[in-house]
């Protein structure tokens, strides 16, 4: 719930006949809107002619009926929804990117974050490269274009470029005749394959496939490159072989509950998180409620395991943007009150267990506790369906420094007092790694443990041209 977001969502479609691929991509992006509410974009491909539109805003606002009609019909399209992790929200950073080089046009979008982006970018700039964005996608496009000039195909260029790319990336891209999808060798971020009317789709989550009536086929393997064209579908597995290390927070928060990741139901994983929370942090209470929407499934699981009745504690105003959008703390607090309204009849005079997915800075959860007490709750017991954040994430989640994490500055007792709760309990690291029953993967839990499955950068530097010029510089 609290000011935590992830890089992006991606989608691609290839049809055997010319069709309204822009409309299908629009619906799929709408299903992936939870993965990015800052900007969005669609590129369509009509016999090698690429048309695109991208802008800041939600899918339903950016893509009006007129815009979708101008994008036209075609056989291939890709789309993207975005949050930024390190750079500013501006139109130039919207994706997909369209790149035109000596061997033809290419469109590309990605979800994740490179750990060697700074080094690659500096190398390309010193060789005369000019960057128009501050996102990693443009760096990836340079790496692919560099290889494309020397190779026979776009997929071969991507295969060679992947030897240089480090970190997390799920990529969708297209050339004039092909749709291509690729996942980093450790599979930090999800990517799946589906089929529709004899064609194919790729998406960050299976819920996007459901939205357009596509049938789920399988998850794309870590390191796999999938190529779809008029000859059918094939894979390059040069970079395959590593065990998947999916970000565990996909199951805790990022993914939609109706999605399936690596063979495991997201909804069931959150129910299991609630079960484990109840076993690890039992409490005497009258009602269990969840913070909409990410805490609801875990709250149901906590109720099932504990026997404490499940109740609806809040009504969520779905027409209010996420709290991180508000620029000042006062505005963020006000937006929480507007966004969530307590159902007083369900909490007045009761001991309440409140379930949420995480505590980052402690501001939003503190305000929610206050709302419950003002509504007459006699006790408020906080239970969090993941461990405390103690380390930065380098692979696409905006946990960028330890000094912004409340668990790095306070003990659990101090956090409990700070947010005004009667008790506080986090899910253990061991349990969070077991919530996705029968998942075909292991997990990255570096933000909790500091143990990362891949090399991390020694320092994170913001783009110097994104900051205001210091007044002391002559």
Write down the pLDDT at residue 358.
94
Q: What is the residue extent of each domain of the chain? A: 8-242, 265-447
Backbone angles phi, psi at 189, to 5 degrees: -115, 150
Q: How many residues belong to the chain? A: 474
Query: Which of left, alpha, beta for 46 (phi over 0: left; psi -120 to 50: alpha)?
Result: beta
The predicted model gives 26-44 an average pLDDT of: 96
**Pairwise CA distance, residues 291 & 432, whole Å:** 19
The predicted model gives 317-340 an average pLDDT of: 57
**Pairwise CA distance, residues 333 & 319, whole Å:** 16
Write down the pLDDT at residue 90.
75
Q: In the predicted model, what is the mean pLDDT of the chain?
A: 90
The answer to whether the pTM exceeds 0.75 is yes
Write down the pLDDT at residue 400.
67
Q: In sequence order, what E strands does 238-366 have?
A: 245-247, 260-261, 264-265, 287-290, 314-316, 340-342, 351-356
Burial, 400: exposed, middle or buried (Cβ in 10 Å; 0-12, 13-18, 19+)? middle
Please tell me whether the peptide bond between 96 and the residue prior to it is cis, using omega within 30 degrees of 0: yes
Catalytic residue list = 8
Q: Which helix (H) or strand (E) holds 165?
A: none
DSSP state, residue 186: T
**Pairwise CA distance, residues 180 & 16, whole Å:** 15
How many other C-beta atoms lie within 10 A of the C-beta of residue 451? Answer: 10
Q: Give the CA dihedral 156, 453, 222, 212, nearest 10 degrees.
A: -120
**Pairwise CA distance, residues 25 & 9, whole Å:** 12
Q: Over the stretch 396-445, which tens digit does the pLDDT of each residue have?
A: 887 767 888 999 999 999 999 999 999 999 999 999 999 999 999 999 99
Q: Which helix (H) or strand (E) holds 225?
A: strand 225-229
From the options 3.40.50.460, 1.10.10.10, 3.40.50.2020, 3.40.50.1100, give the CATH code of 265-447.
3.40.50.2020
Q: Strands 287-290 and 351-356, how do they pair?
A: parallel
Query: Which of left, alpha, beta for 78 (phi over 0: left; psi -120 to 50: alpha)?
Result: beta
Q: Over the stretch 137-163, which tens digit does the pLDDT of each residue have?
A: 999 999 999 999 999 999 999 999 999
Q: Over the stretch 354-369, which tens digit does the pLDDT of each residue have?
A: 999 999 888 889 999 9
**Could you tell me the pLDDT band of residue 311, with boundaries at 50, 70 and 90?**
very high
- Among residues 387, 442, 432, 416, the alpha carbon closest in space to that of 275 is found at 432
DSSP codes, 102-134:
TTEEEEEEEEEEESSHHHHHHHHHHTT---S-S
The predicted model gives 370-378 an average pLDDT of: 96
**Pairwise CA distance, residues 451 & 171, whole Å:** 25
For residue 30, CA distances in Å to 14, 208, 377, 401 come to: 18, 8, 37, 31
From the options 3.60.20.10, 3.40.190.10, 3.30.360.10, 1.10.10.410, give the CATH code of 8-242.
3.60.20.10
Write down the pLDDT at residue 260.
97
Write down the pLDDT at residue 35.
94
Question: For a pLDDT cut of 90, what percent of the chain falls above it?
Answer: 81
DSSP codes, 328-356:
SHHHHHHHHHHHEEE-HHHHTTSEEEEEE
The predicted model gives 304-316 an average pLDDT of: 95
Q: Which helix (H) or strand (E) holds 275?
A: helix 266-280
**Pairwise CA distance, residues 99 & 222, whole Å:** 26
Write down the pLDDT at residue 211.
94
Q: Is-contact 71 445, C-beta < 8 A? A: no
Q: Is-contact 48 106, C-beta < 8 A? A: no
Write down the pLDDT at residue 401.
79
**Pairwise CA distance, residues 308 & 410, whole Å:** 30
The predicted model gives 15-35 an average pLDDT of: 96
Q: Which helix (H) or strand (E) holds 147?
A: helix 136-148
């Amino acid at each position: 719930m609290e000011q935590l977001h992830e890089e992006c969502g991606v989608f691609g479609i290839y049809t055997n006949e010319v069709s309204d691929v822009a409309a299908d991509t629009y619906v799929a992006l709408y299903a992936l809107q939870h993965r990015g509410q800052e900007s969005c974009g669609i590129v369509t491909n009509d016999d090698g002619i690429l048309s695109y539109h991208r802008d800041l805003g939600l899918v339903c606002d950016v893509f009006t009926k007129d815009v979708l009609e101008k994008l036209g019909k075609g056989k291939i399209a890709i789309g993207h929804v975005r949050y930024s992790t390190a750079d500013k929200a501006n139109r130039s950073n919207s994706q997909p990117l369209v790149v035109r080089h000596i061997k033809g046009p290419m469109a590309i979008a990605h979800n994740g974050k490179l750990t060697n982006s700074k080094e690659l970018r500096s190398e390309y700039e010193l060789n005369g490269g000019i960057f128009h964005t501050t996102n990693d996608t443009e760096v990836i496009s340079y790496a692919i274009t560099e290889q494309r000039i020397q190779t026979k195909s776009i997929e071969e260029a991507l295969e060679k470029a992947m030897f240089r790319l480090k970190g997390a990336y799920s990529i969708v891209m297209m050339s004039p005749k092909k749709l291509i999808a690729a996942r980093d060798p450790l599979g930090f971020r999800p990517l799946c394959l589906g089929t529709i009317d004899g064609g194919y789709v790729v998406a960050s989550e299976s819920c996007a496939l459901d939205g357009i009536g596509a049938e789920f086929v399988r998850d794309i393997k870590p390191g796999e490159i999938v190529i779809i064209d008029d000859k059918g579908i094939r894979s390059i597995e040069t970079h395959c072989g590593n065990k998947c290390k999916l970000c565990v927070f996909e199951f805790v928060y990022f993914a939609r509950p109706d999605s399936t990741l690596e063979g495991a139901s997201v909804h069931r994983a959150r129910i299991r998180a609630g079960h484990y929370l109840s076993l690890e942090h039992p409490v005497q209470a009258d009602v269990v409620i969840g913070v909409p929407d990410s805490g609801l499934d875990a709250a149901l699981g906590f109720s099932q395991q504990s026997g404490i009745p499940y109740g609806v504690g809040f009504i969520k105003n779905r027409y209010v943007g996420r709290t991180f959008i508000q620029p000042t703390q006062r505005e963020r607090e006000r937006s929480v009150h507007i966004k969530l309204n307590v159902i007083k009849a369900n909490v007045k005079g009761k001991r309440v267990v409140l379930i949420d997915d995480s505590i980052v800075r402690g501001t939003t959860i503190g305000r929610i506790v206050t709302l419950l007490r003002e509504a007459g709750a006699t006790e408020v017991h906080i239970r969090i369906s993941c461990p405390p954040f103690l380390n930065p994430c380098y692979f696409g989640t905006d946990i960028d420094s330890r000094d912004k994490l409340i668990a790095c500055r306070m003990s659990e007792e101090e956090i409990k007092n700070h947010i005004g709760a009667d008790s506080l309990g986090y899910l253990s690291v061991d349990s969070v790694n077991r919530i996705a029953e029968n998942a075909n993967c292991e997990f990255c839990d570096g933000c909790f443990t500091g143990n990362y499955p891949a090399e991390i950068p020694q320092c994170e530097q913001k783009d110097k041209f994104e900051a205001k010029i210091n007044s002391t510089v002559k």
